[in-house]
Structures are given as C-alpha cells and as structure tokens.
Amino acid sequence: MPPRLAVGWSRTLGRQCLILLGALALGLLVGHPWPALALAALCIVIWQQWRLRRLLLRLQARRHLPPARGTGAWNELDRLLHQSQDDTRSRKRRLVEMLRAYRAAAAALPDAVVVLDRNSQRVQWFNEASTRLLGLQYPADLEASVGDRLQPLPISHWLASGRHAEPLLDAPSPLDPAVRLSLKLIPYSENLWLLVARDVSKLMRLEQVRRDFVANVSHELRTPLTVIHGYLDMLDPEEQPDWAPILSEMRLQSQRMTQLVEDLLTLSRLEAQEATADEAVPMSSLLATLRREAEALSLGRHTVTVEQSDDADLWGSTKELHSAFSNLVANAVRYTPAGGHIDVGFRRDADGGAVLTVRDTGYGIPAAHLPRITERFYRVSTSRSRELGGTGLGLAIVKHVLQLHQARLEIESEVGRGSVFSCHFPPDRVHPNHESRQGAKRDQARPPASRAG
Ligand code: ADP
C-alpha cells in the first residue's frame, strides 16, 4: 500500500478505536459499559454508511465535484476517485480531439474516401471529395448500397473478389465519364473496407499525348526513311568500290531505323487497342512458319525443333500472335551462340488452357533483370542487342499482344544455360483444332458471355 494511503487508513482505524475506548471508559464511569460501547459502534457504522453514500453519489455525478479535503481512508478514497475521473476525462478529450483531427484530414484529402460495410456493401462514411468525384450526397447516401449508387462502375462485381480485388486503374466517374478514376479497395478491419478513388484524368491525358506523340513521330519518320532506303538501293556498290563499306553500313542502319519505326508503330497500335480479333488461329501452320523463320535467321547455326503435342488451336488475332511468337523465336536465335538448341512447343495446360514455349540454350538473363525485361528499350546488354539487330521493343510487343489475349508471359532463365519464355493462354482462348479446320466461328462454339474481359 502506498505510504499516504497507509497513513490515512491507520488514522481512520485509530480514530474508531479511540471512539470505542472513550465510549467504554464513559460507560464504565456511568456503570453501563456495554450499551455505551454499542452506541459508539452504531455511530461508527452510520458514519461509514454516510461516507459510502457520498462516494456513490460522486461516482454518479455528472458535474465535476471538487476533491475531498482532510485525512482518513474515506478522504483518500475520495481523492483517488477524483483523480481517476480527471484522468478519464482528459483521455476522452484527447481521443475526441484526435478523432476530429483524423476526420478533418480525411475530409481534406483530394482523393475520395468511402468507408464500406463489407457484408452489406453499404456506405458508412465518406469525405467531401466523394461528392465531387463519385457523386455521393450527404446525408442521403449514408447506408446506401454502393453498387447501386456508383453505377455504371462495376463495384458489386469488384467487391465480390474480396481482399484480392485488383485496383481498377482507369474507370469513368459516375458523374462525368470524361473524368477518369483509379479505384482501390483497402480492407482495414474484419467488416469495414475503404474505397479510395483518385482522379487520374490528367495522367491519362498525358499518357494519351505520349502515345500520340510516339505514334505520330514514327508515322512521320516512315516516309523519309522509305525514300532514303530507296535511294540507297539504287546505288550499286560495284560501280563505286571505294564507297562499298559505307553504303553497306548506311543500308544496315537505315534498315535498323525502319525496323525501329515499324516496332514503335506496332506498339502504338497495340496500346490503342482495347480488344483483339476473335478468329481461329491455326497453330500447326503458325508453328511451321515459326520454324521457317527461325531457320532463316539462324542460317544453320542452331538446331531448331518444333513440337505440337496437343490437338488445339487458339482464338485470337493470327497476325498479332504471329508477331509476338516470332519476336520470341528471333530473340532465342539472336541470344543463343552457334551450336545451341532452340525448341518451340505448344501444348494444353492442366487447367484447360494452353501454353506456347520458346526454349533456348543461349546466354540467359540474370535474375535481377527479369522484372524489367518487358519494358520498352530495356536491355540486359545494349551493345549486344544493337550488334545483333535488336530494337529493344520485342518483349514489350509480346507483353501487349498477350495482354490483349488475356494471356501471361512467364520467363525462366539461367545465365550460361538458357531461357524459357512461356505464353500461358486461359481455357477461354483454346479450342480443339478440328473446329477451326471446319471454319467454326467462335461465337458458335461458346456463349458470348464467356468471352467477356
Ligand atoms: P531486343 O530487340 O533488344 O532483343 P527485346 O525486348 O526483344 O529487345 O528483349 C529485351 C532484352 O531481353 C534483350 O536486349 C536481351 O538482353 C534480353 N533477351 C530477350 N530474349 C532473350 C533470350 N532468349 N536470351 C537471352 N536474353 C534475352
């Protein structure tokens, strides 16, 4: 027990003993010790009850009562209670201030922040930016169903994916389709989720300007390059032997520039596209073309094998898929030293999808480069890529083509041993190839709903 409390308690005890002793002495004087003692004890009990009542009243009081003065156990208890009430009050005040500050900060955010109940998908709270960006109105939209309120955004479908919902990177605002939003879901408790929407219209416009710029520059460069190429072809090195090495270098460089421009235009076209063609892609003839291309590029320096182990074709754009696969095959030839092996394979996946693999026994790619290898102009070795005629855009084209086909690219590589590039297609993109031979239309093979996305 703290000394102050011990002193208070012993004082109260001491006082009560004194009262009892005094009463006993008085009782002995008048000849009735026991009634005197009983009377004193009764007084003590009444006094204790009175203090207990005061304490209970203090506990219940809404007003701020002053602390008790004086000594003794009851006064100490009173003071302790007063102190604890004071502490609780100031803690509560601090919490309320903090809550106000958090709310003010959330309200001042330029992004829309909406608190949702995960189970009922109803709006619990939202900040001011939600009115500007999502059209939510206070207080009418509190407890409103977020799916109904934020139409035409695919919110209900998106929320159903739960914690693993991928952010929606470019969605139209329900108020104005010209305003583009990026939406993110943040689960922060078992039942409450945060929906954060950011206005990315400016970013999207800049991205569009960048895309248009690259496409326009590439387009403008095409004509002068064709002219230069044409004139270079007219010059015969045999007529001017001194100029022969310069002419051949100029031809090589103009071919490289033409290839670069063509790749940039392909990439711009793919970026601008939202969906791809939906035709049957005959895989056996495509694989035969890839083999011919690999052999023509290799000029007998590599062993090329092609294997189609399953009877399946793809749905998609033959032209785009050919461009993606031939980029992978060209890379395999380019980055594999003479004497190496290049294997191209196409087979069904365990999940009903299909996978096209291009395997080589070439230089390989260090693991540190793999995460960025599909970025445009990203090269492991710029000098080697240029020397071998690469533009630095091949894998970016592959990535975009696969995205348009809802497929993904997987790369495994080991330096000095080689690389495997696998293009995984979902089951929806695969069909038995006899249908394509009969000229089957995809619409007949599958209900339209299964092609969404
Ligand atoms: P590039 O035109 O330079 O080949 P890509 O986008 O096709 O551009 O490839 C990017 C880089 O990835 C290449 O510069 C090369 O370093 C590396 N790369 C691609 N394919 C292979 C491969 N099969 N083996 C080793 N490195 C590769």
Q: What is the pLDDT of residue 196?
A: 92
Can you tell me whether residue 160 is helix, strand or coil? helix
Measure 334 CA to ligand 1 centroid, in angstroms.
Answer: 8
More confident residue, 252 or 360: 360
Report pLDDT digits (tens) over 123-166: 999 999 999 999 999 899 999 988 888 887 877 778 777 777 78
Q: Place 439 in a pLDDT band, splitting at 50, 70 and 90.
A: very low
Please indicate whether residue 323, judged by its CB atom, sits closer than 6 Å to ligand 1: no
Residue nearest to atom 18 of ligand 1 (CA): 331
pLDDT tier at 429 (50, 70, 90 boundaries)?
very high
Does 337 score more than 80 pLDDT? yes
Residue 120, CA distances (Å) to 7, 191, 392 in order: 59, 9, 49
Compute the half-sphere exposure of residue 278: CA atoms within 13 Å on the CB side of its CA. 15
pLDDT tens for each residue of 258-313: 999 999 999 999 988 888 888 999 999 999 999 999 999 999 999 999 999 878 89
Does residue 317 register a pLDDT over 70? Answer: yes
Q: Tell me if 373 CB under 6 Å of ligand 1.
A: yes
Task: Give the residue whose CA is nearest to atom 8 of ligand 1.
Answer: 392
Q: Is the CB of 260 under 6 A from ligand 1?
A: no
Choose among 284, 289, 292, 323: nearest CA to 432. 284
* Ligand 1 near 340 CB (within 6 A): no
CATH topology of domain 109-199: Beta-Lactamase (3.30.450)
* 331 CA from centroid of ligand 1 (Å): 6
Q: What is the mean pLDDT of the chain?
A: 88
Q: Is the dihedral of CA 81, 86, 92, 98 positive or negative?
A: negative
Q: Is the pLDDT of residue 447 over 50?
A: no
Give the pLDDT confidence score for residue 388 in this predicted structure.
78
- pLDDT confidence of residue 61: 80
Closest ligand 1 atom, CA of 421? 23
- Kindly give the residue spans of alpha helices, DSSP state H, lying in 117-276: 128-134, 146-149, 155-160, 201-234, 244-272
Q: Which CATH number is associated with domain 279-435?
A: 3.30.565.10
Distance 385 CA to ligand 1 centre (A): 7
Q: Please tell me the predicted confidence (pLDDT) of residue 239.
A: 85
Sign of the alpha-carbon torsion through 199, 202, 205, 206: negative
The answer to whether the beta carbons of residues 225 and 261 sit under 8 Å apart is yes
Residue in 49, 52, 40, 36 with CA at minimum distance from that of residue 15 = 40
To test ligand 1's pocket by mutation, which of 266, 270, 395 has the most ligand atoms within 8 angstroms of CB? 395
Q: Is 382 in the pocket of ligand 1 (CB under 6 A)?
A: no
Per-residue confidence (pLDDT) for residue 59, from 0 to 100 = 83
Instruction: Using the predicted structure, report yes or no on whether residue 436 has a pLDDT greater than 70.
Output: no
The pLDDT assigned to 449 comes to 34
Tell me the C-alpha distance between 106 and 127, whole Å. Answer: 6
Identify which of 371, 299, 368, 360 has the alpha carbon closest to the alpha carbon of residue 332.
360
pTM for this entry: 0.68
pLDDT of residue 434: 56
Residue 161 is predicted with a pLDDT of 76
Distance of alpha carbon 77 from alpha carbon 362, whole angstroms? 85
Q: Is the dihedral of CA 175, 179, 183, 189 positive or negative?
A: negative
| pLDDT at position 433 | 65
Task: Kindly give the number of the ligand 1 atom that is closest to the alpha carbon of 391.
Answer: 2
